[in-house]
Amino acid sequence: MQFDRMKKYVFLFFIALMTFACKKEKATDPIIDPGNEFIILDVPVGFPYPNIPSDNKPTLNRIALGEKLFFDPILSRDSSISCGSCHLPGLKFTDGVALSLGISGRHAMRNAMTILNVAYQPYSFWDGGVPNLEQQVLAPIENPNEMDFDVNLAVERLRNNKDYVADFQKSYSLEPSVYTLTRAIACYERTLFTGKSKYDRFIYEGDSFALNTSEKNGMIMFFNEEADCFHCHVDYNFTDFSFQNNGLYSVYPDSGRARITGNASDVGKFKVPSLRNVELTAPYMHDGSIATLEEVVEHYNSGGQPHPNKSNVVRPKNLSPQQKQDLVNFLKALTDE
């Protein structure tokens, strides 16, 4: 009887053991980190919510990691420059020079664009050669005139850094890799918005006193055929993201979009940039060749140089000095308050 009971216990013990034997080891209950909850981005009033890749939804931890990487020179060959060296927050994520400085005093090929509102960009760079933000991260790291580094070696540096290993684990539950590096930086960049200017107050908040008379006159010209800016600089972000030849040169040393497509009809075409904060993002054009807003307005007023690919809307406008000043004043009303 006693033995029978014992048999029963032994049997039950093994059944229990079998039930648990196939289960994976359960980690101790994970502490819920609020930094890993998906968040809703704080999009400016009047703006649509941007498309976000399903594998890179924003969390506070991911954004913090991306920001840390963005400003860390660890990603350049000689650890001298970071993304933030050419995209300075104080200059609306531009750098104030015609061509950005890479490592060892080298110059980048084109002017550093702002990355504010980059969440809305359908493709990256002046020539649109890269289809999304995640892949864009690779280009400045590899570019010999910028960070001039091997992405795999950059990842190796991150793997040898205890803090980064912990950061990546915390935010992506993965080790540093090309995948997580590109995700983290893109995740941060998608949080950088701009859309709180006098113009926005006027348009989206119905504050009719937000713009003065000169700015209003400039706005009217901007949005009609008189100055004809709105064909390309449209919508909440003041760009249609098209590629246009704006008559900057008759012969382009930099072929622009044609560098990607190989089409002669794309020579001298560059992606239309946003005009938000344009007052603070001088110098202008893909090569930073125009120093001031007044000169930019004069360029478009003159109709630019002849070129077979030049946009039809770039033609002589014969604006008066007051009209040009109104346009400049309107452009300055696009600066975040």
Partner 1 sequence: MKKLFSIAAITLACTTLLFTSCKKDKSEEPTPSTEQNLTMHLHSNVGTHAANYDSTFINSAGQRFTIEDYRMYISNIVLIKSDGSELPITGKIFLTNPEIDEYELGMVPVGNYKGFRFIVGLDSTINHSDPSTYPSSNPLSVQTPSIHWSWNSGYIFWKVEGKVDTTVAQTGPVNVDYLYHIGMDEFKRTIDFTTDAFSVNSGQDQVIHLNFDLAAALINVDMTSELMTHTMDDMMLATKIANNWQSAFEVE
d(CA 103, CA 146): 6
Smallest distance from the beta carbon of 115 to partner 1, in angstroms? 16
By the rule CB under 8 A, 49 interacts with partner 1: no
Does residue number 131 form part of the binding site for partner 1 (CB under 8 A)? yes
- C-alpha to C-alpha distance for 163 and 161, rounded to whole angstroms: 6
String of DSSP letters for 220-288: HHHTSTTT--TTTS-TTTT----EEB-SS-SS-SS-BTHHHH--GGGTTBEEPPP-TTGGGS-SBSTT-
Match 């346009």 to its residue by tokens: 327
Give the H or E element holding residue 243: strand 243-244
Residue 107 lies near partner 1 (rule: CB under 8 A): no
E strands, 131-198, in order: none
- Residue with smaller CB distance to partner 1, 91 or 139: 139
**Which amino acid does the sequence have at 35?**
G
- Name the minimum Å distance from CB 166 to partner 1: 21
- Subset of residues 180 to 239 that bind partner 1, contact rule: CB under 8 A: 181-183
The answer to whether 151 contacts partner 1 (rule: CB under 8 A) is yes
Least Å from the CB of residue 156 to partner 1: 10
Nearest alpha-carbon partner for 121 in 271, 334, 246: 271
Smallest separation, CB 4 to partner 1 (Å): 8
| CA 119 – CA 115 distance, rounded (Å) | 9
Contacts of partner 1 in 20-39 (CB under 8 A): 21-22
Contact region with partner 1 (CB under 8 A), list: 3-11, 197-205, 216-224, 313-321: 3-11
Number of residues that bind partner 1 (CB under 8 A): 38
17 binding partner 1? (CB under 8 A): yes
Q: What is the number of alpha carbons within 13 Å of residue 82 lying toward its C-beta?
A: 14
**Is the peptide bond preceding residue 283 cis, with omega within 30 degrees of 0?**
yes
Which regions of the chain does DSSP assign to beta strands (E)? 243-244, 270-271
Retrieve residue 53's tokens. 């890749």
Asked if 157 interacts with partner 1 (CB under 8 A), we say no
Q: Which is nearer to partner 1, 147 or 327 (CB)?
A: 147
**Please, are residues 142 and 151 in contact by the beta-carbon 8 Å criterion?**
yes
Q: Assign 94 to helix, strand or coil.
A: strand
Question: Under the criterion CB under 8 A, does residue 262 sit at the interface with partner 1?
Answer: yes
Which one, 18 or 251, has the nearer CB to partner 1? 18
For partner 1, which stretch binds (CB under 8 A), given 98-106, 123-131, 197-205, 328-336? 123-131
Q: How far apart are CA 70 and CA 276, in angstroms?
A: 22
Which stretches of 22-70 are DSSP H helices?
Answer: 60-70
178 touches partner 1 by CB under 8 A:
yes
The answer to the question of residue 51 lying near partner 1 (CB under 8 A) is no
Instruction: Please report whether residue 251 would count as binding partner 1 according to CB under 8 A.
Output: no
CB of 309 to partner 1, least distance (A): 17
Residues that bind partner 1 (CB under 8 A): 3-4, 6-7, 10-11, 14-15, 17-18, 21-22, 125, 127, 129-132, 134-135, 138-139, 141-143, 150-153, 177-179, 181-183, 259-260, 262
